[in-house]
């Protein structure tokens, strides 16, 4: 059992937790992920590490309530325990040798992008950040990004905060104005990463993306997290859990990844609604 030592609601659907897991905290690096199971009956889901405190032995996770498992997790409070917490899995984000980096975060993906931006800053890189959200109320970690970025652009789809538009707008502006970064790291919804990677490739800018597909074990055993990379015109399969989660954005077949990510969307929607109804009933009775 792994104790939740702190919980903070970042926006209506995004929650941050610090979880006591000393062994994981000791070895975790930015870009790696953990597998969590809130209850003994829950699904195993991967969540990327959003931070860690080696001394306190805690690992930070930030997640959005999108399905039954994250909904269940969101109902736990400080002092409660999660049933299983294993990691750190996958390869750490490669920050070495990257001196001029644009970090792009979309939605809850900002939670994963932040520790990478922090690490880059620590290593002396010049860090520019662009973070994008649907609307003002969903903005998370803005101050934290500001603290580690030389420049920060905040984008909202509806223009309710910062600039209206998607994360590609400031990226394109940098390129047009001759301020193109030496490297782009993009983490967020697949469709966002697809277009950032496309723009990066068209302009010859190296691009790293972090993939978060459906997986079970996280150790290379199930193959459910396989994605396709296109290398020199050849299609190659890779497992996000052991070969990633970071991949060369120029190579990832995003359309296929988007198709695969919806494999259980009906099931998830059903389970989520079931969960919501249950909570509604409990609130009514209680």
Partner 1 sequence: MAETVKKKFNPSLNKTPMPEQDPAERAQNFSEVALGYTSDMAVLEAERCLDCKNMPCVSGCPVNISIPDFIREIKKGDFESAYKIIRESSSLPAICGRVCPQERQCESKCVRGIKGEAVAIGRLERFAADTHAEANAVVKQDAPTGERVAVVGSGPAGLAAAAELNSLGYRVTVYEALHTEGGVLTYGIPEFRLPKSVVRREVDGLRSLGVEFVTNVIIGKTLLVDDLFDMGYKAVFIGTGAGLPQFMSIPGESFKGVYSANEYLTRCNLMGAYRENSETPVMKGGSVAVVGGGNVAMDAARVAKRLGAESVRIVYRRSAEELPARREEVEHAIAEGIEFLYLTSPIEILGYENKENRRDPKNGCVTSMKCIKMKLGEPDERGRRRPIPEEGSEFTIPADTVIMAIGTTPNPLIKSTTEGLSVNERGGIVTDDSTMTTKAGVFAGGDAVSGAATVISAMGAGKRAAHAIDEYIRSNK
**Which residues contact partner 1 (rule: CB under 8 A)?**
23-24, 27, 37, 41-44, 68-69, 83-89, 216-217, 219-224, 226, 228, 237, 242, 256, 259-260, 262-268, 271
CB nearer to partner 1: pick between 87 and 109: 87
Tell me the closest approach of the beta carbon of residue 198 to partner 1, in angstroms: 17
Task: Report how far residue 194's alpha carbon sits from residue 250's, in angstroms, rounded to the nearest whole number.
Answer: 9
Tell me the closest approach of the beta carbon of residue 221 to partner 1, in angstroms: 4
State phi, psi for 188 to the nearest 5 degrees.
170, -160
* Pick from 104, 3, 86, 6: nearest CA to 47: 86
CB nearer to partner 1: pick between 79 and 262: 262
CB nearer to partner 1: pick between 93 and 140: 93
- Are 241 and 219 in contact, with CB atoms under 8 Å apart? yes
Provide the 3-class DSSP secondary structure of residue 244. Answer: coil
CA dihedral sign of residues 32, 38, 39, 41: negative
Task: Report how far residue 39's alpha carbon sits from residue 49's, in angstroms, rounded to the nearest whole number.
Answer: 20
Task: Report how far residue 139's alpha carbon sits from residue 123's, in angstroms, rounded to the nearest whole number.
Answer: 27
CB nearer to partner 1: pick between 32 and 149: 32
**DSSP secondary structure of 52-70:** EETTTTEEEEEEE--SHHH
Tell me the closest approach of the beta carbon of residue 152 to partner 1, in angstroms: 33
Tell me the closest approach of the beta carbon of residue 92 to partner 1, in angstroms: 11
Tell me the closest approach of the beta carbon of residue 3 to partner 1, in angstroms: 14
CB nearer to partner 1: pick between 182 and 224: 224
Q: How many helices (H) and strands (E) does the chain have?
A: 9, 17
- Are 60 and 18 in contact, with CB atoms under 8 Å apart? yes
CB nearer to partner 1: pick between 161 and 195: 195
Tell me the closest approach of the beta carbon of residue 85 to partner 1, in angstroms: 7
């Amino acid at each position: 059992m792994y104790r939740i030592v702190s919980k903070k609601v970042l926006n209506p659907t995004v929650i941050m937790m610090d979880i006591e897991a000393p062994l994981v905290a000791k070895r975790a690096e930015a870009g790696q992920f953990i597998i969590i199971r809130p209850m003994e009956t829950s699904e195993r889901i991967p969540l990327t590490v959003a931070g860690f405190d080696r001394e306190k032995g805690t690992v930070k996770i930030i997640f959005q309530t999108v399905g039954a498992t994250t909904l269940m997790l969101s109902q736990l409070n400080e002092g409660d325990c999660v049933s299983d917490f294993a990691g750190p899995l996958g390869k750490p984000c490669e920050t070495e040798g990257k001196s001029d980096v644009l970090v792009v975060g979309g939605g809850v993906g900002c939670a994963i992008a932040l520790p990478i931006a922090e690490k880059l800053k620590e290593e002396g890189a010049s860090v520019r950040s662009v973070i994008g959200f649907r609307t003002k109320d969903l903005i998370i970690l803005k101050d934290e990004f500001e603290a580690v970025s030389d420049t920060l652009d905040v984008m909202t789809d509806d223009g309710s905060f910062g600039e209206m538009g998607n994360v590609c707008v400031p990226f394109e502006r940098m390129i047009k104005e001759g301020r193109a970064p030496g490297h782009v790291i993009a983490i967020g919804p697949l469709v966002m990463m697809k277009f950032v990677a496309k723009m990066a490739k068209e302009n010859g800018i190296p691009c790293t993306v972090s993939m978060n597909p459906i997986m079970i074990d996280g150790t290379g055993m199930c193959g459910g997290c396989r994605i396709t990379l296109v290398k020199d015109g050849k299609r190659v399969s890779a497992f996000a859990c052991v070969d990633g989660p970071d991949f060369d954005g120029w190579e990832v077949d995003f359309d296929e990844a988007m198709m695969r990510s919806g494999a259980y969307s009906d099931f998830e929607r059903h389970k989520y609604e079931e969960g919501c109804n249950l909570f509604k009933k409990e609130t009514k009775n209680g």
